[in-house]
A and B are shown apart, each in its own frame.
Chain A
């Protein structure tokens, strides 16, 4: 099996107003992993995501899904959009129906599945996202976090192979963020799908993501595992990003206070381990 589910080769995208949003992007989305795409505002993340499922057609370059270049015919696009599900940033522009149940059923209905199968998928999607008890509620009575989950359920019900999410944690409270991230991780592990997400929330990246791309003004400037990416703090700061708070603390301890860590740490548990191993060498 191909290790890469989705690949982009020398992708350029120029909007009708002349904005050169993507300038020769090359990246590979690993199969069955969670990939984060980081970047400041206007780095081109959303444009890239819309190229992933054929909403936008590249000005030049290629999008390759599962080893085959994307076919932009009506049929090819339909197949691509089933396989690559896109969850938008603002759930209010994705949820079109006043009934949560109906909205979630929209995607699977468009796949022309039998009714029984659609119902099964809707229930499953609602259950997976933890909003089964909200199916009778009108969309406008949902909280922002619940709307976000409903939007994810609507895409999950299409059973995509790649789930692409534009800022899935944007605008959520801390509990909401960890709730959504846990649900994504669980879904990814249980269904073996690949997840791609953009985020500004650097702190969740080392916790939930396996691979990271950093974008800046239409280019990919850094890539690697979270460990590799977060060991280049200066490069990150140049593109208006930062280290995770914990990694930042570890960096300061190392630089200013002469701590000697043998490994970089970006999460609380990693930092705890690193600190404990250092303190063992101390004598009080």
Chain B
């Protein structure tokens, strides 16, 4: 996740208004889930992946690597959909008899599994588009603008900022323990880990105290009022995603009619 953030800072889409990007990603994600069609899922995959790579400048290799992360979960999940139990071996492509029933893969099961697989991949690409083009700080400002409670946004911001400080502190303590053989045996390892956890807690508490003092020195009065850097904002930023999604919805409806007609 920390890695993704670094790519987001480098993206050429970083300067684009985060609300627009959020709008585009969530709308397309919803549409992809609603359409539930192979063609549309593949289209979303190509569209969002294409924008991330060509407009955002993220390398295709890195995007592929990211898409490989959910693959293992996806394959296991999809496999359970594909495998069916039936008393009729006729509908199965491959099957094994097991305790009086047939366990195997049917054509319908395979089709369902494929559709689910593509749908999930398409949806994940929507989220990758967002996270590879929008650093968390920008995301928070988008949340603030669309009306998420301010306190929650502030908390998320502070957590994000201080997670890195906490990591650093933990690493320093761990290294200093380790260089004094704190983790040489299992026993001392447990003892050291306990010390690390409690020290970390105390340090975090102290730091929050210091942070409050420092904020107070700059006139803190209960709200973290800050200015964001100006974003590139244009109405077309909302229009284009809307248009794309309308086109995709129309295609879905046409496909449904066509398939419905063929089946009927």
Residues of A participating in the B interface, judged by any CB pair closer than 8 Å: 50, 53, 55, 78, 81-82, 85-86, 88, 90, 92-99, 101-103, 105-107, 109-111, 115, 118-119, 122, 135-141, 154-155, 158
Please give the distance in Å from A121's CB to the nearest CB on chain B: 10
- A to B CB contacts below 8 Å, 7 in the list: A86-B214, A94-B211, A98-B135, A109-B225, A110-B218, A119-B227, A138-B5
A106 and B137 form a contact (CB under 8 A): no
Which single residue of chain B is at the shortest CB-CB distance from A103?
B226
Which single residue of chain B is at the shortest CB-CB distance from A139?
B161
Please give the distance in Å from B29's CB to the nearest CB on chain A: 25
Q: Which of B186-242 contact A (CB under 8 A)?
A: 207, 210-211, 213-221, 224-229
How many of B's residues come within 8 Å of A, CB to CB? 31
Q: Which 10 A-B pairs have the closest CB atoms?
A: A110-B219, A140-B164, A93-B210, A105-B227, A102-B226, A109-B225, A94-B214, A107-B218, A99-B137, A86-B217
B210 and A111 form a contact (CB under 8 A): no
Interface centre among B137, B211, B213, B219 (most CB of A within 10 A): B219
- Please give 14 more A-B residue pairs, beta carbons under 8 A apart, in addition to A101-B228, A101-B229: A81-B218, A85-B217, A86-B214, A94-B214, A96-B211, A97-B224, A98-B137, A98-B157, A99-B228, A102-B227, A103-B226, A106-B224, A110-B221, A115-B227
Bound complex: CA A94 to CA B216 (Å): 10
Please give the distance in Å from A81's CB to the nearest CB on chain B: 5
| Among candidates A50, A88, A105, A107, residue contacting B219 with C-beta atoms closer than 8 Å | A107
Residues of B participating in the A interface, judged by any CB pair closer than 8 Å: 5-6, 9, 14, 135-137, 157-158, 160-161, 164-165, 207, 210-211, 213-221, 224-229
**Residues in chain B near residue A158, CB distance under 8 A:** 218-219
Bound complex: CA A137 to CA B137 (Å): 11
**Residues in chain A near residue B228, CB distance under 8 A:** 99, 101-102
Bound complex: CA A110 to CA B210 (Å): 19
| Among candidates B5, B207, B213, B226, residue contacting A97 with C-beta atoms closer than 8 Å | B226
Bound complex: CA A78 to CA B218 (Å): 9
Please give the distance in Å from B114's CB to the nearest CB on chain A: 40
Please give the distance in Å from A99's CB to the nearest CB on chain B: 4
**Residues in chain A near residue B9, CB distance under 8 A:** 136-138, 141
Bound complex: CA A90 to CA B217 (Å): 14
B226 and A88 form a contact (CB under 8 A): no
**Residues in chain B near residue A137, CB distance under 8 A:** 9
Bound complex: CA A139 to CA B219 (Å): 21
A102 and B137 form a contact (CB under 8 A): yes
Bound complex: CA A102 to CA B136 (Å): 13
**Residues in chain A near residue B224, CB distance under 8 A:** 96-97, 106
**Residues in chain A near residue B210, CB distance under 8 A:** 88, 90, 93
Which single residue of chain B is at the shortest CB-CB distance from A86?
B217
Bound complex: CA A94 to CA B215 (Å): 7
Interface centre among B165, B218, B220, B221 (most CB of A within 10 A): B218
A93 and B227 form a contact (CB under 8 A): no
**Residues in chain A near residue B160, CB distance under 8 A:** 98
B217 and A53 form a contact (CB under 8 A): yes
A105 and B218 form a contact (CB under 8 A): no
**Residues in chain A near residue B218, CB distance under 8 A:** 81, 85, 106-107, 110, 154-155, 158
Bound complex: CA A119 to CA B229 (Å): 9
